[in-house]
Structure 1
Amino acid sequence: MSRNDQGEYTTRITDEDILAHFSQAGRPFQTAQSVAEQFDVDRSQAYRRLQQLADEDALEKAKVGGRAVVWWISDNDEPTSKPHEVNPDDPIFDRDTFQAGEPDDTSEKIDEVLYGDGTSGAV
């Protein structure tokens, strides 16, 4: 790493270098740590570059536990999220609907449901 005229660290690693690493490393999934080790940079710098590539839709990422995140090359031909199909035969659609303020049709009072009918000695 070198410094620019303002004294800030600069890197000579291009986005193409990082993306090429994903295809050349033999593993389609990489972590920020593995990228940092490959390019001899700090893990936080690698993470920022990977996040930038994800923001540009070149990479995708997923959290796989604790603080672990894996990255992979995005397949831009397919949408990243697919709509869920609705099954009209799902039993949830057979349930009665209600609105706030409507009387319920149960004969039990809430205290009886929560605390029993009073004859069982429930407290």
Structure 2
Amino acid sequence: MLRVIRESEFPAVTARWVADTVEMERRPVHQRLEELHERGELERGKLSPRVVIWWIPNNEE
């Protein structure tokens, strides 16, 4: 998933975008993104109560 995010044309992505790109259901993708966030490999931010964006921190590029 990190590769997909790194190769994205966008600076940040949603779990739905990742799920559509890797052709998986959103829930397992979101769980994996949470795991990567907990390990410090991804950052996240809330655009609204229901929209979370994910990006790779600068030190990971």
TM-score bucket of the superposed structures, by smaller chain = 0.7 to 0.9
More helix by share: 2
Query: What is the aligned length?
Result: 60
The structure with more radius of gyration: 1
Per the TM alignment, residue 19 of structure 1 is displaced from its structure 2 partner at its CA by 1.0
Distance 1:56 1:64 in 2: 22
Q: Deviations over 1:19-39 (max 9, x none)?
A: 111221111201000010011
Instruction: Please report the RMSD computed on the Cα atoms of aligned residues, expressed in angstroms.
Output: 1.4
TM-score in terms of structure 2 length: 0.88
Does residue 1:21 correspond to 2:15, yes or no?
A: no
Which stretches of structure 1, 4 residues or longer, exceed 2 Å deviation after superposition?
Answer: none
What percent identity do the matched residue pairs reach?
Answer: 32
State the partner residue of 2:45.
62
Distance 2:23 2:15 in 1: 12
Structure 1: tracts of 5 or more residues without a match: 1-17, 78-123
Distance 1:57 1:23 in 2: 15
Per the TM alignment, residue 75 of structure 1 is displaced from its structure 2 partner at its CA by 2.9
Amino acid of the residue matched to residue 66 of structure 1?
A: P
TM-score in terms of structure 1 length: 0.46
Q: Select the structure with the greater relative contact order (CA < 8 A; seq sep ≥ 6).
A: 2
Per the TM alignment, residue 74 of structure 1 is displaced from its structure 2 partner at its CA by 1.7
Structure 2: tracts of 5 or more residues without a match: none
Distance 2:41 2:53 in 1: 14
More strand by share: 2
